Structure 1
Amino acid sequence: MRRKLIAAVGAAALVAGATACGTEGGSAGDGGKKTLTVWVMDGSAPEPWSKELNKAFEAEHKGVEVEMKVQQWNGIQERITTALSEDSPPDVLELGNTQTAGYAVTGGLADLTPMKGELGYDQWNEGMLSSAELDGKLFAAPWYAANRAVIYDKSVYEEAGVKPPETREEWLAGLEKIGEKTDKQPLYLPGQSWYVFAGFLWDEGGNLAVEKGGDTWEGALASDEAAAAMDFYKELQSHSTAPKDADEATPQQSTDVVPKGDVASWIGLGWEAGGAVAAIEEAGDEADFGYFPIPGKTADQPGHVFFGGSNLSVSERSPNKELAQEWLQMATSEEWMTKYAEATEGGLLPNSPAAQVDPAEGSFAEAMVASAEVGRITPVTPGWANVETDPNPIKTYMTKVLEGTDPKQAGKEADEVITERINGS
């Protein structure tokens, strides 16, 4: 997940003094000491948590030093692929949750299946767990996740007499009212925000692609469920002046659109909310945002959301595999995940609901946590990364439907591309 999440939710600074990339691996040092090398991504590990964790691990493992190396998301897949193919790869690696299956299928990750009980497998968030497994085997431990929520301007909602909704119907009615009673854009929603669409699709019981057996997958956007999800997306998008042929990053909604002041609400991640607040304050104004979960079809459950996040894995070729597994076990335990949630001020979801801390009332984190039990990820298969390659067929599908193409026809065209790509043809 290419996001500086910790900074966005006001957590502590990143791991200090760590070097950038490098593919040297685990055993090193003088006097018989061993160095355990851990790669973490920029924005994932708050410094106080990392220092305390590594100090505790080193105290239990005399002669071992943990060296964390911070990596940048840009170009990380190539660097990890190279590192895993070498004789001395990093011992432990943070992997994006949609990337893990791709590395597992190459044989580069250690099989952690025998450690399920020790790792607390049964206590993990089900929405995060799926990304850590492939073909019935466990290749990672979920670490953290984050999801989107609705961010709204409190003053505009108050002016229109609108309260945060609990259902889709209330949401649409509120947007209509804002359009009638204020001069603001009720909702900024670009036509290609496909992570948002995915949540609506899961609400309808559909999926982006389905497994047909024999390691074969096919696209599933020509379905009735996808058509229903796009119908709702289209209703929402009718309250927006955002382009139908662009996503939330073109232009970046949090820093290039929202700070201009004519947006009543939008859908984003915590780091985006933080970025908007910073941009507004830099311009000399004051942001007064409220947050609510993306509403579901009924009030008893919020809408499904995409979980962006990371897992922790052990390299198959790690020269310190047993130590690496022990470090991973400690780092992802309920004790240390609770500390992690505290260090991120509740702004990231830990791998276990039991480790979740109560977020501040009225915070983005509070709205995000409310959707945690209905978080999901994209289909877990090594070929999924090919689907997201530009031009992303899901984005193309969405634009076509918004511009008037029949959803079933647009879905059929998208499914042909998805099926070819996901199966690696």
Structure 2
Amino acid sequence: MKRKLIVAVSVAGMMAGVAACGGGSGSEGKSGKTEAASKELTVWTMNGSAPKAWIDEVNKEFAAKHPGVTVKVVEQEWTDIQTKITAALSENTPPDVLELGNTQTVGYAVTGGLADLTADKAKLGGDAWSKGMLASGEVDGKLYAAPWYAANRLVIYDKKAYEKAGITPPKTRDEWVANLEKLKTSDPSSQPIYLPGQSWYVLAGLIWDEGGDLAVKDGAKWKGQLSTPQAASAMEFYKKLQSYSTAPKDKDEALPQQSTDVIPKGGVASWIGLGWEAQGALKALKAAGKDTEFGYFPIPGKTADKPGSVFLGGSNLAVAERSKNKELAKEWLALAAGKDQMTKYAVATEGALLPNQASANFAAAPGSFAESMAKAAVSGKITPVTAGWGAVETEPNPIKQFMTKVLKGEDVAKAGADADKEIASRINK
């Protein structure tokens, strides 16, 4: 599944129109029940998020309870999606249920675009949801979205390359670097690791491991944290890892797309990626007539007692504040985010994504991506939960720029200070 869990446009800046249009309650009367006038429920999902067999099963179960209601599922592309969602939420006929990136949700909530689901949390099955995932759907103690799924990155390695070098998956950062050195000696023509200079989600995990963060709240304002000793230490370790790679220092993992444009060409002993990327790479390798077999392990931590921190990217499901069918939308949401359907979802995605509750986890095969992802997820975190965060990720992303500057020789403290100024300027708008 082609997933790219990054924010492309500033939520806060674009969404003023949502608040300006007000938070109407649609066509629901004082009883809170949906009027019978509208018999169509519109659901927006993102490309690659909802396997057809699964979404058909959800709609079949919903139709059994509401035979007169048609569910129209519209698949959207991630490119410029925030502009489209912002416009839709300000209209009188928005989608009733919509998928939102977990770093985007708070921006739509604070500007009035999403329905308050706090009173419906129990009916939606909220008591079983992962607390780590749930955090991205709550603002000031109120619930605005149900967590749907999440995913985190792993180190993906060529088993033959590791066997040739006489190494096994590492448990610590030091062991990891030692392995890369052995891979370099074992096959000088191959990259021990493919690591683009701007894989900032990887850097975020390293910063969290150092006890730092990308940004923190200081009074009423937010400030960047890339000029801190913790960020400097994390960036120096990233620089060490990147020294074993010939990947561009000024590009991220999608430019070129590592799973389909780089790995299938060969000459890479390991790389860092998501489940859908591993699946895509294996498919491309098979098509090229190569019999590469992947192994997987969590990004190592500083010590062996727990894996390194990882960005827990994913999506939430929300109900539009201006929906004409709020109660029906909540019932559909309760099905989609409930244990039964989430268990089927985990199976449908072949364990490439983590469901919103542990009880629905995919029964992963030993040695699979899903097994290692679940192990790594215990150290999962998300970016700062604030409406301004989307603006930070807008290109040119100052975190990416910071990384490239340091990798090209600029002083880490100076590069961090410059990045912090830009982060503060964007996040506090």
- TM-score w.r.t. the length of structure 1 is 0.90
**Aligned equivalent of 2:218:** 212
Match of 2:344 in 1: 339
Counting only pairs closer than 5 Å after superposition, residues 392-407 of structure 1 correspond to structure 2 as 392-407=397-412
In the other structure, the counterpart of 2:95 is: 90
Structure 1's 250 and 351: CA in aligned 2 closer, same or farther, altered over 3 A? Answer: same
TM-fit CA distance, 1:82? 1.3
In the alignment, what sits opposite 1:185?
191
| CA contact 2:2–2:276 (8 Å) conserved in 1 | no
Asked whether the 8 Å contact 1:35–1:67 carries over to 2, the reply is yes
Query: What SS does the aligned partner of 1:37 have?
Result: strand
Equivalent residues in 2 for 1:274-353, closer than 5 Å = 274-353=279-358
Deviation of residue 139 (structure 1)?
A: 0.8
Deviation at 1:243, TM superposition (A): 2.1
Which residue pairs with 2:246 in the alignment? 241
| Structure 1 residue 2, shift from structure 2 partner | 7.0
- The CA deviation at 1:76 is 1.7
SS at match of 2:156: strand
CA distance in 1, matches of 2:145, 2:127: 14
Is 397-406 or 260-269 further displaced after alignment?
Answer: 397-406
Alpha-carbon distance between aligned partners in 2 of 1:65 and 1:4, rounded to the nearest angstrom: 30
**Aligned partners of 1:229, 1:300: CA distance in 2, in Å?**
19
1:385 aligns with 2:394: no
Deviation readout 1:97-131 (Å, 9 max, x if unpaired):
11111211221100111122233334322321221
Letter in 2 for 1:208: L
1:33 Cα deviation from its structure 2 partner: 6.6
Q: Do structure 1's residue 200 and structure 2's residue 214 form an aligned pair?
A: no
Match of 2:161 among 143, 156, 162: 156
Distance 2:350 2:110 in 1: 35
Deviation (angstroms), 1:69:
1.6
Greater relative CO, 1 or 2 (CA 8 Å, sep 6+): 2
Q: 1:421 aligns with which of 391, 403, 426?
A: 426
List per-residue Cα deviations over 1:184-212 (Å, max 9, x = no partner).
21111111110100011111111101112
- Post-superposition Cα deviations, 1:149-183, rounded to whole Å, max 9, x if no partner, equal 11111111000001011111111111111111223
Find the aligned partners of 2:301 and 2:240 in 1 and give their Cα distance: 15
Find the residue that maps to 1:316 and give its secondary structure: coil
CA distance in 2 between partners of 1:77 and 1:112 (Å):
21
Q: In structure 2, what is the Cα distance between the partners aligned to 1:148 and 1:159?
A: 25
Match of 1:365 in 2: 370
User: C-alpha separation between the residues in 1 aligned to 2:208 and 2:288?
Assistant: 39
Residue pair 2:276, 2:352 contacting (<8 A) in 1 also: no
Give the counterpart letter for 1:334 in structure 2: K
TM-score by length of 2: 0.89
Pick aligned residue for 1:72 from 77, 81, 94? 77
The question of whether the paired residues in 1 share the 8 Å contact of 2:39 and 2:68 is answered with: yes
Q: What displacement does 1:304 show?
A: 1.1
For the residue of structure 2 that corresponds to 1:118, the secondary structure is coil
Q: How far apart, CA to CA, are the structure 1 residues paired with 2:247 and 2:121?
A: 46
Aligned residue type for 1:188: Y
Q: Percent identity?
A: 65
**1:3 paired to 2:3:** yes
In 1, are the aligned partners of 2:115 and 2:320 still within 8 Å (CA)? Answer: yes
Q: Report the Cα offset of residue 278 of structure 1.
A: 2.3
RMSD: 1.9
| Distance (whole Å) between structure 1 residues aligned to residue 338 and residue 420 of structure 2 | 40
- Distance, in Å, in 2 between the alignment partners of 1:308 and 1:61 is 33
* Structure 1 residue 232 displacement after superposition: 1.4
Rounded Cα–Cα distance in structure 1 between residues aligned with 2:245 and 2:307: 22
CA distance in 1, matches of 2:64, 2:114: 27
Contact 1:148 1:268 in 2 (8 A): yes
**Contact 1:33–1:65 (CA under 8 A) maintained in structure 2:** no
Give how far 1:4 is off: 7.5
Q: Quick check: 1:341–1:357 contact (8 Å CA) kept in 2?
A: yes
Q: Deviations over 1:219-275 (max 9, x none)?
A: 111111111111211121121122222222222222222222111101011222122
Q: CA deviation at 1:42?
A: 1.5
* CA displacement, residues 332-390 of structure 1 (integer Å, 9 cap, x when unaligned): 11222112112212221001112112212222222212111221121111111111122
CA offsets 1:264-300 (integer angstroms, 9 cap, x no match)? 1010112221222222222222221111111111222
The residue number in structure 2 matching 1:268 is 273
| Corresponding position of 1:126 | 131
What amino acid is the match of 2:375? A
In the aligned structure 2, how far is the partner of 1:321 from the partner of 1:380? 26
Uncovered stretches (5+) of structure 1, i.e. residues with no partner: 6-25
Q: Note the residue ranges of structure 2 that are not aligned, 5 or more in a row.
A: 6-25, 28-35
Q: Distance in 1 between matches of 2:198 and 2:244?
A: 15
Where 2:385 maps in the other structure, the secondary structure is coil
Q: Distance in 2 between matches of 1:32 and 1:240?
A: 60
